[in-house]
Amino acid sequence: MTKEDMEIMRRFFDPRSVAVVGATDSPDRVGYNLLDSLVNGGFKGNIYPVHPKLKEILGIRVYPSCIDIPDQVDLVLIALNQRDTIDVVEHCGKLGIKGAVSVAGGFRETGDEGRALEKRLVEISKKYGIKVVGPNTLGMMNLEVNLNASFYPISLKKGNVSLISQSGGMGFSIIQKCSDEGLGINKFVGVGNRTVLEFSDYLEFLAEDPGTKVIGVFLEGVDDARRLVQIAGEVACKKPVVMYKVGHSDAVNEATLTHTGSVAGPYQLFRDIFKQFGVLLADSVPELVAACKALSLCRLPAGGQVGIYTYTAGPSIAALDRLADREISIPGLAPETGRKIKAILGEDLPVILRNPIDSGGLGIQPETYGLLVEAALEDPGFDILATFSCPHKNWRNPTKELIAAHKKSSKPLLTCYISTVKGVEADREALQQAGIPLYISPDETAWGVAALVHYGQKGSALSENA
């Protein structure tokens, strides 16, 4: 992208004023919900609903058209059908407006007539230099400036993970999973049909965005796969990119073509090329979010030597199974670590000391748990440590002890409380504020470990940004 293109994108991610064309007073309509999202999201800039007949919506004055707005508009949200959308984009272009979001479907995913409309949209964009998100999109967000320019008026935690999704529904699924995990979001964009702005454009923008530390991507298919892979690889050398790509079968390819007008392409070829360029791949929404969570909260490890501590062996074995095909090593214990553990638990142990470290019932109490975690973090053979425990009605979780141990070490620490989201909300907030990702399943813990090791091995450039 040119510097001018980047500046236009910065402006519509951080607009001073937003117009909603097609705003209505009916809560069941998209136009109402776009306006509701702006208002309830706490957007601090000027908001201008546009409707030819209404005078007021949600207590805000309504304007008959964009030309009647007494202000320079930075971003226009268009909640009209595909044909009217084309007319509005051209009108905006003539007024010097440079950013638009088109939520309407009915473009190339529907056949020849839709393709002709989309071609016209490209022509208008080039003529007036207007950048369009979509069409056929859920919308976009920048939580740094309280901008929710989507038609889902929801409240989300702010953070440093930015998300790009080709599907609105899958984008919402990822957003909801992030919310469940206490993971803060910085920016979100639903690319839709990618008519004017491609995946690679958003990746280039987020690579330079100071609020974004980690980028998560849901991908169906693209037209210029070569450029996407190249740009994603370049960005992944600056900050972590986690990619969830679908398209295992011909049936999925056909569904993709009628969803966003894209061809998914040969799945294995995509995976092989992304791996070659160092982009981390995920196979599901939980894996994508688990990886983003670890990369968002943790410093990167110096290497791929993983230590595990638990008093219940099963979850650690399940996690090891998930890590089996990754470039990860499970080293033995250093002799000094074994001596420290015996000093804590006693010489006559009912368990064999090795990695994973299983203390059995001797390590359940939080104070002992904390001492054992400290000993494991001090092992010179471990670059990263994951711990596992099971919340119990009558036993306190070792949250305080994990935070204290983490403060004494420079190594990343992840922990798993086998539970449900609602069972550990208070612990999760405290741990994650301290830079310790809390997971509730062995699989997700393993995915977090794998993500940290993957990007830890990419070199010093990422480590400096971690």
Angle between helices 168-180 and 285-297 (to 10 degrees): 50
In a domain, 398, yes or no: yes
Number of folded domains in the chain? 3
Q: 113: domain CATH number?
A: 3.40.50.720
Which pLDDT belongs to residue 248?
Answer: 57
Give the model confidence (pLDDT) of 316-341 as tens digits.
999 999 999 888 999 999 999 999 99
Per-residue confidence (pLDDT) for residue 261, from 0 to 100 = 45
For residue 12, the model assigns a pLDDT of: 93
Report yes or no on 149 lying in a domain. no
Q: Specify which residues 305 forms β-bridges with.
A: 329
Query: Of 79, 105, 137, which residue is a domain's last?
Result: 137
pLDDT of residue 252: 43
Report the alpha-carbon angle 65-67-68, nearest 5. 70
The answer to whether residue 146 is domain-embedded is no
Q: Give the per-residue pLDDT at 459.
A: 64
Residue 328 lies in a domain: yes
Q: Is the peptide bond before 135 cis (omega within 30 degrees of 0)?
A: yes
Range of the domain at 274: 156-296
Contacts of 326 (CB under 8 A, 6+ apart): 450, 453, 454
* Angstrom distance (rounded) from CA 397 to CA 417: 8
Q: Which two tokens stand for residue 317?
A: 């074995």
Q: Does residue 306 fall inside a structural domain?
A: yes
Residues of the chain with pLDDT under 70: 248-266, 459-466
Shared domain for 182 and 279, answered yes or no, is yes
- The pLDDT value given to residue 217: 97
- Residue 389, in any domain of the structure: yes
State the CATH number of the domain containing residue 317. Answer: 3.40.50.261
State residue 438's pLDDT score: 98
pTM of the model: 0.93
Q: What is the pLDDT of residue 464?
A: 55
Classify residue 445 by burial, with Cβ atoms within 10 Å: 0-12, 13-18, 19+: buried
The DSSP 8-state label assigned to residue 39 in this structure reads: H
